[in-house]
Structure formats: C-alpha cells, structure tokens
Structure 1
Amino acid sequence: MFKEITYRPLNLYSQFKEAAEAFPETAIILDKVYEAFPQLSSESTYQEVHEAIVETASRLASFGISQSDKVMLYKSTSFDTYLLAVAVTYLGAVPVMVSYHLPSSTLDVFAQRLESSFIIYDQETMERVTGMSEKETTRPISLRELVLADRMEVVENLLPEDVIQYMTHTSGTTGIPKLICHTGQTMGWRVAWQQTIFVKMKKPGLLAFHISPVHSRYNIGISSAINLGFPIFPLSSARAQDVEDLLTLYKPMALETHPNNFVQWSRLAKEKPDVFSSIQFYHSTFDAINKATMKAFLTASKDSQPVFMQVYGQSECGPMILRYHRLEDIDETNARDMGVGLAGYTQARVADEHGIMLPAGQNGHIHLYSKGRAVTYYKEDARFQENVYGDWWDSGDYGCLTENGTLLLKDRQVDVIDQIDSNLALEDMLLDQLDFLSEVVIIRDREGRPQPILALVEEEEMNWNAWWQAVTDLPFLKEPIILAYEDIPRTATMKVQRLQMEASLKEHGHL
C-alpha cells in the first residue's frame, strides 16, 4: 500500500534525493541517449539518475551558477531537460523552463526580465541563442560545454520554501509568454493533488508519458510519481511508429500525453489496438479531449476496467478539475463536461467580467481556486493581479457550471464567436463524426464569421460529401481551409495558436 498522502513543500532536488534513498532500484526507462546525461543507460535506476544529477550540478557550478541565479533551460524536448532542472535546484539556482520553439526575440524579452541569467542550449536551439540581442546579461552554456566541464566540489544549497524556486511560461497564444513563478509551497500543493490520484492505481506499475518538459505539469507529475516509487518511462517522440515500438516493448500500465497527441495516435489505437493493450489508466494533460478519441483508447485496452482520466488545469493553478471516463458510458459522455474539483484542493466557479458569480447554466468567465496557485508573473505582477479576484483566479476560459456543479468548458474568452455556443464542442463533434480528419479548428474571418481549418489524417483524402452532410444542421460555417497538420501553429503543449493562425491567414489573404 502507498503511504498516507500529506502536504509538504516541494524542492525538486531534495524530493529526488529522498525518492532515490527510498526506492534506489526502481527503474527509469530512457528511450534515447541524452546529450546532457550520456552516462545513463536505457534502463537506469532512481539511484543512478540521482548520482548523475549531482555530478551535473558539480559541472554547472564550474560556470559560476550559484544560489538564486536564474538558469533558462532552452533545448530540444526530452526528459533530460527536467534532470537539468533538478541539478540547477541542487545549487539553489532557479530553473526557467523555456520551450525550444520560441524565437530569439522572445528569449531577449525573457533575458531583460531576468536581468542576469544563464541559458543552457543544444544543437536544436543554438541558432536562436546565437541570434539573441541580449548578450550582455545572459551567459550561454552549450550542452557540449557542460558535459566536458570540470567538476567542482559543491554541496546542496537549497532555496527556502517560500521564495521563487521554479519558473515556467504561459503558452503565448495571445502574445509574448509570461514567466510564471512557483514556490516550494505552491508546487507542494500540486504534488499532494496529484498523489491522491496516483494512489487510486493500487500498485506502482510503469508510467509512460509524452509531455512537454517545460510545462508546469511535468515536474509535478514526475515528483508525485517517484515519491510513491513508480517506475517511469518518458517518451521522447510522438511519432506513431516510435510509440508503437516502445509501448509494445515495455507494456506500461499508464499513459499520459497532451490531448492533441492522443488524437494523433487514435488511428494507431484503432488499427493496432494491441499496442495499448496493457494500459489501464489514460491521462489527458490539462485540457479537454473529444470522446471518439477516448473511446478508441479505452477499447484498445485489455484491462477489465480501463479508465481515461480527463484533467483540466492551467499553468498558473496546476491540475484543477477531473473526470473519469469508462467504456460503458463514453457514448453518452459530454466531452465538454470537465467534472469537478478535488475536495480540499481545487474548485471552479463562473463569473461575469466584473467577478460577480453567475448561476448554473449561464456562460461566463471560468474562475479557479487552487491551493497551488502560482505567486506572480516575473516582473509583470500587475498583469498577474488583473486576473486575481481574492482567492479566485480568472482562467481566461469561458463556460458554465451545470446544475450538478460540474464545469462545462466551452472556449478561451478571446476565441468566442457570437454565432456559436462553443467552438470546442463543435470541433469535438466534427472530429468524432469524421474519422478522416486529424484536426478541426474554428477561427474568425475578417467579419468575425466562423472559419473552419482542417487537417487530414495521413494518407486520407478530404470527403466533401461527408463534411457538408455533417455541417448541414449546424450554424453557418464557411468552406473549410485545409492545412497540413504540421502547418497549424501550436504551443509547446500542442495547443493551437488560434490568434496567430487568424493573423497569418488574414495577412496572406486567406480569410
């Protein structure tokens, strides 16, 4: 049985050290050799990874990194990004998790806010680091330099629990991302929330996941899992063939990824269900997902009672609202119904633009209450406070509460279209009905009318008869624009950057 779950502040390093002491031989499966940690094998242990983290911290110290320094981690997306963050924490410095696709101009803004910082990069991001203008205040360190650096004798020098220990950033769907600040206390509440979910799994089986390592979800998930002794399996690639090979080989008990990755893999689940036969628990990270996709994965599992857990959350607040989906009720499910908060930890309400609560069934701004709420946006506290209503946080999302108290997520507030009650619900419905589509996004044309953007499943053709039949009884939709899946702009967590896409298509005369 798992130990009793209680709140305690989270320090990434001390938590990893304690896990390595409690479960030294528990496995961490690695699907590639990491440039930052070449000494780790494909089947490493907590203890071996902990030793590698301490060794890397001693090399980081040789560059002058010490307590309270800010260290941007800006590299290709894989598990070693997280391990670098733990090593930075060992020195009492603050990891700043930066998505590898952000341009030099955004790095310059981050560097200005941080005032004096380091930035760790690799071959994937080298050109953008070289292109930065802010060279006086930022010390670049390549992974190649790091692994060849001399070691220094250093001891752990941890920050207090009530100061900023970790930074992530917003998705940037509406402009320059904001740097979100987390303390040991706020992260500790998120870990407690997550562990109450993990203990329902009864036994510590292998957890596989493909999540952006710079997402606020990443460190909480790993910290929660290893604290309970779960073996973990970070997947570096979202390619269907890689997923097929790795899941077939290691047969994990649980699988977590972003909703859009599940949508990408749904064809694999339908055509080769054995790939997912070992999965008992699916977990969709911080966003809604259409029910046909969930059904495909639940059907593929050979477990007697597979569960698809849908979690709605936000980087500023952590995991918030959850709902369990099972095969026997998935067809009747409203995929926009996120469920309820976790008693004692999180809660949702709906308010108008002035923060006044609205009754059930009335659409408005979704407000979130979370004990794990971040403390500020770094050097932009005024922007942070614009969203604060006492203990409540305006999420920027739009929806309503049902009479049963569950939360219906309908849209981002900035994406609302007058003629449509919920873009997201409409997109879900079309994805559920039309299996030749891998993406449906509804944006606004120059007059504010709904414009569908479609991406096709690989090797499928557009079925126009099925499309027009599906939309016959819907609010008027313009003729769709078809783009390649990879041409749809996305954040690090695979969310569509709708405003950026609107602006780009208008600029090129397509809207």
Structure 2
Amino acid sequence: MTTATRTGGLWNIAAEEPDRIALVDAGQSGGVSYTYGELVSDANKYGRGLQDMGLQPGDSVVMMLHNSADLVAFYFAAFQTGLYIVAVNWHLTGPEVAYILKDSEAKAFVASERFADAARQAADEAGVPGRFSVGSIDGFTPLRDLGGSDERPDILTAGGPMLYTSGTTGKPKGVRRPLTGADPDQVPLASSGFFGIFGIKPFDDHVHICGSPLYHTAVLNFVAISIQLGHKVVLMDRWDPEEMLALIDRHRVTHSHMVPTQFHRLLALPEEVRAKYDVSSLRVMIHGAAPCPQEVKRRMLEWWGPVVTEYYAATEGGGTVISGEEWLRKPGSVGTAWPNSVVKVLGDDGSELPVGTPGQVYMRMGGSSFEYHHDKKKTAESRVGDLFTLGDIGYLDEDGYLFLCDRKSDMIISGGVNIYPAEIEGELITHPKVADVAVFGVPHADWGEEIKAVVQPEVGVEPSEELTEEIMVFARERLAKFKLPKSVDYTDELPRDPNGKLYKRKLRDPYWQGRANI
C-alpha cells in the first residue's frame, strides 16, 4: 500500500484504490455500494459546476437532503472547493429554512424531493440564486445536471461545515470558523486526532454505520472522517432498531455514533429479536448529544459489552470522553477532557469552583476559535476569556471526571432551591410504562415554579389517574420529596429531533403563556 493511501484522504484513496467501497447507501432498494472512484467522480462534477456558477472560496451552500450518496458527494464537492457547507435540519418549516439561507448568505441550495414544499417556500423567500434537487422539485435544477465534467475543479482549498446550533433556546446560530486554506487532499490532524480519542485509526478495517440524519454536526463529521480514513460507511436513510442490527450483522459493522433514544428503542425489542443478530464485530459504539439514563447505559453495556463509549462535546469545539469500563467505575460521568482540550466549572462571577460544586461548564479546544455568524453578542455572552459554554451545569470530581446536572436554561428554581430536571427524567424513564419523559418548571404563585412531568406512555398504555399514581409511587421510591413532580400530563410523542435532542421549550411555553408576571 502506498504512502498516499496510508495517509488517507478521499481523492488519494480514489487514485490508489478506485474500486474500494466507500459507501453503502442502504436506503436504496437492496443497498447500493459506491466506490471511492464513483464518489470522487460525482464530487468533482458538482464542485466544478459550483465554480462554473461563480462560487468562490468562503461562499456558502445549503443542503436540505435525506441521508444518501448524493448528500455525501455534494458535501465533498463543496469541501474541496473551499465552501462553507450548511446541512439544514429538514424538520424545519419553509420560513425557518429561509432564515438560514439568508443568514448564511447561501449562493446555492440543494434539497430532496421529499422536502419540496418547504424547500420551494424557503428558496423563494430567501431569493437564493442556485437551486438544485435530488428528485424533482418545480423551479429546481436536478443535481445530476450540475457540472459537465468530472475533472477536478480549478481552485482546490479546504472548505468546512458551518453548523447551526439547534435553536432550543432561540433562533439557530451559525458556528463559523475561519477557513484554513489547507489542501483538501490531506486529512486534517484534528480529524484523525478526534477519531484517535476513540481508538479508531486509518485503514484498520473499521466499518461505520450511520442511522441519524446528516444535518447533525457529529453525524456528518463521523461519516466524512470515516471515508477520509478509508473506512466503509453504511448509510441508513431512516433509522429502525431491528434494521440496524441486521446491517451490523450483514456488514460486520465496528463503530457508530448514536443517541440514547436509539438505545432505548433497541432495548425495547423482544429478546428473541435481539438474539437473531450477531453484533460481535462491534468495537466502539459512541454516543452523545443527549443525556443517557444510567439504567439504559447499564443495560447496553450488559448487551454489547464495554464497547459503549460516551462523549460530551459541542459544535463550537472541545469535549470529554469516557469508556464503558470507566463509566462502570464512575457511573453518570461524561468523562475527562480530550487531549488538547480544557474543561472547567465556573461560578457566575467567572471564578473556578471547587471539586464537587455545580456551576457552568466551560471548554476550550487547543487554539480553536469560532464566532456565531451575525451574532457577536451571543459569541461574547458564551465566553469567559478563551473558554466558552453551552449553558450546561455540572461539576468535576476529585479525579477530573465531569458530571452534568442539566442545562442552566432548564434548571427549575422552586422555593429558592435549584432542581435539575435531567436527574428526575433519568429516574422516570426507567418505569416500564414510560416510553419518554420531559420534566420542567411551570409557574407557581408561592414557590415561583413547581415541577411538571410530561410523559409519553409506552405503546398500548393509556393515560389514566391510575397510571399517574403508579408513576408517582415509583418516583417516591427513588427521589427526594422536593424533586417529585407535582403533576403529570401525557402526550402521544415528545418533540425530539431524530438525534434525541428534546425541544423542551415547545412543551414548556404553553404553561407560561399569559402568566409571566406570576
């Protein structure tokens, strides 16, 4: 194997091993494999087409695409031509997508046919010039017609993702880092170093499975880096627990990036279904993005073994990691700081807090810098010196392990006492009749706030006063009296995105409307 192949990089691998499988698009009937040569051909064609439209390094393009080989090819097209790539959440409405198109100053927009209505509305409202579609959308040019040649584009320089924060606390904000001007044929040390945190190395026969939407920061990174490091990627269009097990078995999958909601649904499969599939190929199944209830984590470790690894990180940079073995020694922790990353817990005055004292969690990744696009105020508010925060509350133990309590914006203050909903949710979710749960504060005339739980019952379980009493008896056995919900409401489904992130504001806001002065 040549030096070029050993060092990785999509175009290097395609030159050396054009028939090597880069991607299996499991969403297509029977699953369709794409070689490195085929992926590069499409990426070159689209990249040349974007340059022919007049796009220059530093311009932005927006993708509103389902998981597919087309998305991956378009991503690499924009990456090699120095463009900012915005992968937009396709659950958003037309006006919400239009906001991102305008805010990112997009010069091109590509959307899937299945999102045609929102895409058309967004493109018209934003007035974006270049419009392309996977499938057919009125007024959009088919993506396959972008570019007339698969020769490499004329200007080659590394672009990068411009990810928009989830918008759970307001309008989403684009996290925009300065482009490096690096050679797109070279795998950035930060990428190989990030995978190294989890013990994943180039060309070590890893197979990555992706079951979450590629508009999510970490999901997109894991797929792109896996391909750059010579790992085959199995791409699911829509996630299904049994289908994931079948693909793990069929393709001898070794690693993935998952969320606790997926663990919960896997564990809900009947034992005889789980036993049908061989998962012995798994080496490191990584999860983050949302808190994982301890009982769910324990059961996954019992099933899959110590391959379940957790991390805490952010679009903005920096983070922690903890292996399965470590977690069993430090249950509930999200781990210690990555190499070249700093994690501190600060008080409201910006001073560092003692061991075991909850405060706001701040991070830094090496010399990394970023700004929220068009929002200097938000950038400034998230920083103390060269550290930044996501607004999470947590504490460090004597060994430097970070434990998260909750988001500061979700914290309930009742009678002057700080209450962390995540702790309560972590207990209630283990009730056998609870499929999902959200806990938050609602107005109370005397205490300021009281605790409300909204429960999504398991399939076949009907809401009732008897169910509420059963849940409350269960809670009283596990939680201090001041942490007990004062009331329980029910819903058919909690508003989560496919990555497990809960839009709690959508649940909480109706309880506060017209009562802000209480």
- TM-score category of the 2 structures, normalised to the smaller one: 0.7 to 0.9
Specify the code of the residue in structure 2 equivalent to 1:482: Y
Change (3 A) 1:52 1:350: same
Please name the residue that 1:438 is paired with.
435
Please give the alpha-carbon distance, in whole angstroms, between the structure 1 residues aligned to 2:261 and 2:418: 22
Q: Confirm or deny: 8 A CA contact 1:206 1:233 kept in the other structure.
A: yes
Q: Confirm or deny: 8 A CA contact 1:74 1:99 kept in the other structure.
A: yes
Higher relative contact order (CA 8 A, sep 6+): 1
Please give the alpha-carbon distance, in whole angstroms, between the structure 2 residues aligned to 1:508 and 1:441: 22
The DSSP-based 3-state class of the residue aligned with 2:323 is: strand
TM-score calculated relative to the size of structure 2: 0.83
Q: Deviations over 1:67-101 (max 9, x none)?
A: 43321112334454333111122333322221111
The DSSP-based 3-state class of the residue aligned with 2:343 is: strand
Specify the code of the residue in structure 2 equivalent to 1:100: W
Please name the residue that 1:11 is paired with.
none
**Match 1:166 to one of 161, 169, 173:** 161
5+ unaligned residues in a row in structure 1: which ranges? 9-13, 35-39
Specify the code of the residue in structure 2 equivalent to 1:357: E
Identity of aligned residues (%): 17
Please name the residue that 1:300 is paired with.
303
**Match 1:467 to one of 466, 471, 476:** 471
Please name the residue that 1:263 is paired with.
264
**Match 2:279 to one of 277, 282, 285:** 277
The DSSP-based 3-state class of the residue aligned with 1:134 is: helix
Q: How many pairs does the alignment contain?
A: 483
Q: Deviations over 1:233-253 (max 9, x none)?
A: 122222234324433433412
Q: Deviations over 1:192-250 (max 9, x none)?
A: 43221354579423221223312221343234323432222122222234324433433
Q: Deviations over 1:288-340 (max 9, x none)?
A: 31232223333333xxx53210011111115x1011114x974x6522x1110
Q: Confirm or deny: 8 A CA contact 1:276 1:300 kept in the other structure.
A: no
The DSSP-based 3-state class of the residue aligned with 1:151 is: coil
Please give the alpha-carbon distance, in whole angstroms, between the structure 2 residues aligned to 1:461 and 1:130: 40
Please name the residue that 1:493 is paired with.
499
Specify the code of the residue in structure 1 equivalent to 2:80: Y
**Match 1:339 to one of 335, 338, 343:** 335
Q: Confirm or deny: 8 A CA contact 1:444 1:450 kept in the other structure.
A: yes
Please name the residue that 1:89 is paired with.
79
Please give the alpha-carbon distance, in whole angstroms, between the structure 2 residues aligned to 1:77 and 1:293: 27
TM-score calculated relative to the size of structure 1: 0.84
Specify the code of the residue in structure 2 equivalent to 1:381: K
Please name the residue that 1:146 is paired with.
142
Change (3 A) 1:355 1:130: same
Please give the alpha-carbon distance, in whole angstroms, between the structure 2 residues aligned to 1:221 and 1:414: 29
Q: Confirm or deny: 8 A CA contact 1:92 1:157 kept in the other structure.
A: no
Please give the alpha-carbon distance, in whole angstroms, between the structure 2 residues aligned to 1:351 and 1:455: 35
Please give the alpha-carbon distance, in whole angstroms, between the structure 2 residues aligned to 1:348 and 1:297: 27
Please name the residue that 1:476 is paired with.
484
Please give the alpha-carbon distance, in whole angstroms, between the structure 2 residues aligned to 1:373 and 1:492: 28
Please give the alpha-carbon distance, in whole angstroms, between the structure 2 residues aligned to 1:150 and 1:193: 34
Specify the code of the residue in structure 1 equivalent to 2:148: M
Residue 360 (structure 1) shift: 1.1
1:105 aligns with 2:102: no
* Aligned alpha-carbon RMSD (Å): 3.3
Residue 22 (structure 1) shift: 5.2
Please give the alpha-carbon distance, in whole angstroms, between the structure 2 residues aligned to 1:188 and 1:157: 21
Please name the residue that 2:206 is paired with.
205
Residue 407 (structure 1) shift: 0.7
Please name the residue that 2:125 is paired with.
134
Please name the residue that 2:153 is paired with.
156
Please name the residue that 1:454 is paired with.
455
Please give the alpha-carbon distance, in whole angstroms, between the structure 2 residues aligned to 1:170 and 1:282: 24
Specify the code of the residue in structure 2 equivalent to 1:342: W
Change (3 A) 1:295 1:393: same
Q: Confirm or deny: 8 A CA contact 2:427 2:475 kept in the other structure.
A: no
Residue 384 (structure 1) shift: 1.2
Q: Deviations over 1:344-387 (max 9, x none)?
A: x2121100123211111111110001137452112223321221
Change (3 A) 1:76 1:223: closer
Residue 421 (structure 1) shift: 4.0
Residue 391 (structure 1) shift: 2.1
5+ unaligned residues in a row in structure 2: which ranges? 136-140
Please give the alpha-carbon distance, in whole angstroms, between the structure 2 residues aligned to 1:168 and 1:71: 12
Residue 271 (structure 1) shift: 5.1
Please name the residue that 2:402 is paired with.
407
Specify the code of the residue in structure 1 equivalent to 2:117: E
Please name the residue that 2:352 is paired with.
357
Please name the residue that 2:138 is paired with.
none
Please give the alpha-carbon distance, in whole angstroms, between the structure 1 residues aligned to 2:188 and 2:456: 40
